[in-house]
Structure 1
Amino acid sequence: MNDPTRRQAGELESAVLAALWAADRPLTAPEVQQSLPGELARTTVATILARLYDKGSVRRTRQGRGFAYSAAVEDPAALSAQRMHSELDRGGDRPGTLARFISRLSADDEEVVRALLAASADPQDPR
């Protein structure tokens, strides 16, 4: 049975990353906790930060007896791209995974992918 008070998977990670993106400096776990809505335990926030660190989504630097955290990716789009690459790297059939992914794209998304591929193949493209 679903508990209506329980957050969806990834929701806390997204909220923590949003807090880090909004900050102008690295934040400690208690500072992240204070910036989040609701009443999360400091240990919950620390666990989420540790998981994000293990995934490579945040960086941490020693600050006193603890750590201060900053986002390792610049925005939500970069985070999504990182997750997509992780999934591709995890699977054994990369061409098959890509083929299935592409087969489920909308016509608009397919057009965007084609334009991006064409731009990346253009030698005049500054990227």
Structure 2
Amino acid sequence: MTDITDGAGRARRRGQGELEAQVLGALRRAPGPVNAGWVQEALGDDLAYTTVITILTRLYDKGAVTRARAGRSFAWQAASDEAGLAALRMRRVLDGESDREAVLARFVTALSPDDEQLLRDLLERPEGPDGPEGD
């Protein structure tokens, strides 16, 4: 983890996933595919280039970013928004469990009535929960 300062100027450690979220945010604000140096500058922190590459590679392995060869390096781009990344994490947790039915049942029974109704509405859409094009 990397040290950053809080509002009072004290050093603190980034929470797990915080740096990934910052990198994804920078990529979503990018004018298009960008290199790791651009991401490093966009974050405005004193992050090492190797740290940025490590985070980008982790995000790539998770399917949260895409990359394309650009010379001897890569051009990176966000593959999804925050909701897409959260859905990816949820799917990975589900995929890691042996009893999918039990996990899904426990998840649904733990939802608030409003969230349960929202889930029902999403599942009942004729085009599916992702919209008309399934995107």
| TM-score, with structure 1 as normaliser | 0.86
2:69 equivalent among 52, 62, 76 = 62
- Which structure has the highest helix share of the two? 1
Aligned identity (percent) is 52
Equivalent residue of 2:12, what SS? coil
Letter matched to residue 71 of structure 2: G
**Structure 2: any 5+ residue segments left out of the alignment?**
4-10
Q: Which runs of 4+ in 1 moved over 6 A?
A: none
Higher RCO (CA-CA < 8 Å; seq separation 6+): 1
Q: How does 1:17-96 map to 2 (within 5 A)?
A: 17-73=24-80, 75-96=81-102
Alpha carbons of 1:71 and 1:121: their partners in 2 closer, same or farther (altered >3 Å)?
A: closer
RMSD: 2.1
The total of aligned residue pairs comes to: 122
Shift of residue 126 of structure 1? 4.7
Listed as ranges, the gaps of 5+ residues in structure 1 are none
1:101 and 2:110 matched: no
Deviations 1:73-113 (A, max 9, x none): 2x211111122112111211100110111121112111111
Paired AA for residue 88 in structure 1: L
Secondary structure of the 1:114 match is helix
